[in-house]
Amino acid sequence: METRYLGESGLEVSVIGLGCNNFGGRLDESRTESVVSAAIDSGITLFDTADIYGGDGRSEIFLGKALTGRRDEVVIATKFAGPMGDLPMQKGGSRRYILNAVEDSLRRLGTDYIDLYQMHFPDLNTPLDETMRALDDLVRDGKVRYIGHSNFTGWMIAHAHHLAREHSLTPFISAQNHYHLLNREVEPDVQPACTKFGLGILPYFPLASGLLTGKYRKGQPRPEGARLTSGPMADRMLTDQNMDKAELLLDWSESRGHSLLELAFSWLAQQPAVASVIAGATSVEQVEANVDAANWILTSEELTEIEDMLR
């Protein structure tokens, strides 16, 4: 498994990371352990979770138990700021909330430090310098090694960079944003900001919630029990335009002896500033498929052909 430095830091992560959103929800403790073990054995080092995943912190709990005896082999990335209850003080980026949230995550994960602590969502009601000063204290205390954010815009990334430089605070080294072949919203501002200020991008939903796996075809029944079988996300993703693009990409990749899944991962891994592609898995077989997918190195001519198709 290839590893890359995360932004301009010295933290190395595997080019394919494991998203842990299924832990505590679709996966029980036993199946979580199997998936985590397979991921480590396959070379994955980055495990991305959040306090809100699985409900009541179960994703962190299951991940911590699955990593028993193997903590030193991995990079644990978790998140704060999402709602952990109905009260006003149970979310956000205030100093009070962060100092409580990190202790809860450390306890659930069964560790005394978090490798990458990420702000899950921007908190527009709390000054960003308050958030960053609290995170800086956690780094200085040794409870957190590096900090990142998720769902920030380009101007927020620039603002955070200048705050860190002006006040000698720990800078963010990663940006986790929605990014895949059919969603390019990071490219106008987030990607240039990350390149300029030295952050590594960690794309989430790389398979467009399953649309880029090749199992959804126009005119065919949707797979039973899949994420896009029904519901508002299915209506949002399975548009005629998206389906047409996905089928073009499927035919193109298969004509070269590869799957659409391989194309989705490989294309992302070759985009500017991308350090690791975060993907979930519910089985050992999915872990192995995700790992193998990153082995396809697209040529410049192939990348151009892909842009022409999507355009």
Q: How long a stretch of residues is the chain?
A: 311
| pLDDT given at position 155 | 98
Catalytic residues: 53
Domains of the chain by residue range: 3-211+260-298
Q: Which residues contact 62 (CB under 8 A, 6 or more apart)?
A: 20, 23, 24, 27, 29, 32, 33, 54
Structure tokens at 14: 């595997």
According to the model, what pLDDT value does residue 4 have? 98
Distance of CA 245 to the CA centre of its chain: 23
Angle value at C-alpha 245, between 243 and 246, nearest 5 degrees: 65
Pairing verdict, β 200-204 and 277-280 = unpaired
Please report, for residues 25, 45, 134, 205, 294, the alpha-carbon distance to residue 277 in angstroms, rounded to integers and kept in the order given: 22, 12, 28, 9, 9
pLDDT given for residue 227 in this prediction: 65
Q: Please tell me whether residue 27 adopts helix, strand or coil conformation.
A: strand
pLDDT digits (tens, 9 = 90+) for 10-51: 999 999 999 999 999 999 999 999 999 999 999 999 999 999
How far is Cα 64 from Cα 58, in angstroms, rounded to an integer? 10
The number of beta carbons lying within 10 Å of the beta carbon of residue 307 is: 9
Give the three-state DSSP class for 200. Answer: strand
Smallest CA-to-CA distance from 172 within 295, 11, 38 is with: 11
pTM of the complete model? 0.95
Q: Give pLDDT < 50 ranges for the chain.
A: none
pLDDT of residue 230: 61
The yes/no answer on whether domain 3-211+260-298 falls in CATH 3.20.20.100 is yes
For residue range 151-165, what is the model confidence (pLDDT) as tens digits? Answer: 999 999 999 999 999
Question: Would you state the pLDDT for residue 224?
Answer: 63
Supply the pLDDT for residue 226: 63
pLDDT of residue 88: 85
